[in-house]
Chain A
Amino acid sequence: GQQVMQIPQYQHVQEGEDFTTYCNSSTTLSNIQWYKQRPGGHPVFLIQLVKSGEVKKQKRLTFQFGEAKKNSSLHITATQTTDVGTYFCAGREGGSYIPTFGRGTSLIVHP
């Protein structure tokens, strides 16, 4: 079945440093979604990427979808303590009704 690998599992950064999490799929994806889960909270949808090579930005967050549509990344510039949480990618194969979630990357920001 489809697998979505996400790395790293954890990332500690000093406030102001950059952060990147990566997702890799074993198969070509139709689309990929990104979610953020704050500690003690529930996942909240951030963005969806559909096109090959697509890049989208939300303030300090940059999302990329690979040319082959098998990988994606989320980059945060100059992290803040409000960025703390777990970031999940969820990739969907073309023939599948539902996406498969990666295991998530937990971001810890030290002030």
Chain B
Amino acid sequence: DGGITQSPKYLFRKEGQNVTLSCEQNLNHDAMYWYRQDPGQGLRLIYYSQIVNDFQKGDIAEGYSVSREKKESFPLTVTSAQKNPTAFYLCASSISGGNQPQHFGDGTRLSIL
């Protein structure tokens, strides 16, 4: 089955530590996205990538970094500069941007130790 795989499902971060969240898709989609979800806040865009080796900041990119070295992979690093990282992180992909529906992974829940 094609889909998006996020790992791990749960992640704990210590103060001052960087952590990387994995997102892999086998849908052959060009566009990939990272969202942060907090209770009552909906989905806020962190970064998105329209094509391999290219990515753009979203609304809340500070304290996060991404790479897009392969079409199927779009990892998100939560750096120590992100002071409030506890949230539910969702990765999504679409055939391209614009009119195409987004397919979401199951998410990673990040907590601070």
Binding site for B on A (CB under 8 A): 1, 6, 9, 30-31, 33, 35, 41-45, 48, 50, 88, 90, 92, 97-98, 100-104
Contact = CB atoms under 8 A, between A and B. Distances in A.
Given A43-B43, A97-B50, A98-B48, A48 B101 contact: yes
Contacts of B48: 97-98
Contact of A9 (B40, B43, B45, B105): B40
A27 to B, nearest CB: 16
B98 A103 contact: no
Contacts, number: 55
Given A92-B98, A98-B33, A43 B104 contact: yes
Given A42-B106, A50-B99, A97-B50, A88 B42 contact: yes
Contacts of A90: 102
A35 B90 CA distance: 14
B97 A98 contact: yes
B98 A44 contact: no
Given A9-B40, A98-B48, A101-B43, A48 B97 contact: no
B42 A104 contact: yes
A42 B90 contact: yes
B104 A44 contact: yes
Contacts of A33: 101-102
Contact of A42 (B41, B97, B99, B105): B105
B103 interface: yes
A35 to B, nearest CB: 8
Nearest to B48: A98
B42 A103 contact: yes
Given A9-B40, A98-B33, A103-B40, A45 B101 contact: yes
Contacts of A92: 98-99
Given A92-B98, A97-B97, A97-B98, A45 B103 contact: yes
Interface string B40-57: 111111001010000000
A101 B105 CA distance: 17
